[in-house]
Amino acid sequence: MDCPYTSLGCTYRGSRDKMKEHEKSAAAFHLSLVLTILRQIQSGRPAAAVTENGFGAYNGDVIKLPSSLHNGESVYEEIAADCGHHYGAMMTSDLTSRICALENRIQVTENIITVMNREIDSYSAKLTAAQEQIDQEHRKVRACEAKMADLCCTIAQKEIEVNELHDHLTNLQQTTYDGALLWKISDFMKKCQDASAGRTISLYSPAFYTARYGYKVCLRIYLNGDGAGKGTHISLFFAIMRGEYDVLLSWPFRHKVTFMLLDQSNREHVIDAFRPDHASVSFHRPVSDMNVASGCPLFCPLSKLQAVRNNYVKDDTIFIRCIIDTNS
């Protein structure tokens, strides 16, 4: 089926259904063709000559015109007005509905964006609050770590003090106030090896006193010898320590000192004794924690100590006794 406006520039051919679809889609184009004809009629120039069979000529082409167009200019104007109002109303209605739909969509989108912005602001505020809380917790953790470090230092210091107090208590438990000391030396073989290797060349005994408020003294032993007895003898020395009551005592120290290495079978003790040399600084009032030790560098031969028949060493232990004669 041909389009009735083929001669005016519309070139569509097809079935009836497709023709309807074409007329619907090309309505604006058809209207513009009719409006062109109407404008030429209004200007006094006939746009087409109408024939008896209902065809008209336009620019040398023949077109099929509605029968109502045979009556002249007024009919064209009526058709133009009807077509204009009809298609204009359809186009305006369609555009208005589309604009309203778009405006509704835009409004919905704006509402969604507004809600999302509010949620974003809410989450941002929550995130900021959470970050501040995390920073605060971090500060607390750092403060706790610093406090723990201080506590660790304090604990270490207290452990040192406890160990010192323990040693002091042990010494107090072993301290005597009658001028006599019984000194037990355990792990004897190991200590002899340390002395021979030079790792621990001497050992100090616990301090003891000649009386409750008397001289404070101690012993110093070299298990591998010292001086003339180095490598051959046990050397045993006596040392005066600075005490709490030195200001009340008489100086130099004058009392006889006796050393004994006990035979644990009570058969033959090793005994040596000496009297203080009043001219030696070893027996004057101490000006430091301890005077220079003085005593017996050749106290006991190592060969005698290691003899099988003697029992100076038993259970890897020896006993040294010191007696200060405060009556001399």
Residue-level pLDDT, tens digit, the chain, 328 residues: 455 545 444 554 556 666 666 666 666 666 666 666 666 665 655 544 444 444 444 444 444 444 444 444 444 455 445 555 555 556 677 888 888 888 899 999 999 999 999 999 999 999 999 999 999 999 999 999 999 999 999 999 999 999 989 877 877 777 889 999 999 999 999 999 999 999 999 999 999 999 999 999 999 999 999 999 999 999 999 999 999 999 999 999 999 999 999 999 888 899 999 999 999 999 999 999 999 999 999 999 999 888 878 889 999 999 999 999 988 6
Q: Looking at residue 150, what is its pLDDT? A: 93
| Torsion 300-271-210-183 (CA) sign | positive
Interacting residues of 147 by C-beta distance below 8 A, sequence separation 6+: none
**Dihedral sign from CA coordinates of 130, 132, 137, 138:** positive
Q: What is the pLDDT of residue 24?
A: 63
pTM > 0.85: yes or no = no
Q: How far apart are CA 274 and CA 293, in angstroms?
A: 13
* Domains present along the chain, CATH in parentheses: 6-105 (no CATH), 180-325 (2.60.210.10)
Contacts of 90 (CB under 8 A, 6+ apart): 27
In whole angstroms, what is the distance from residue 285 CA to residue 246 CA? 7
∠ Cα 63 65 68 (to 5°)? 165
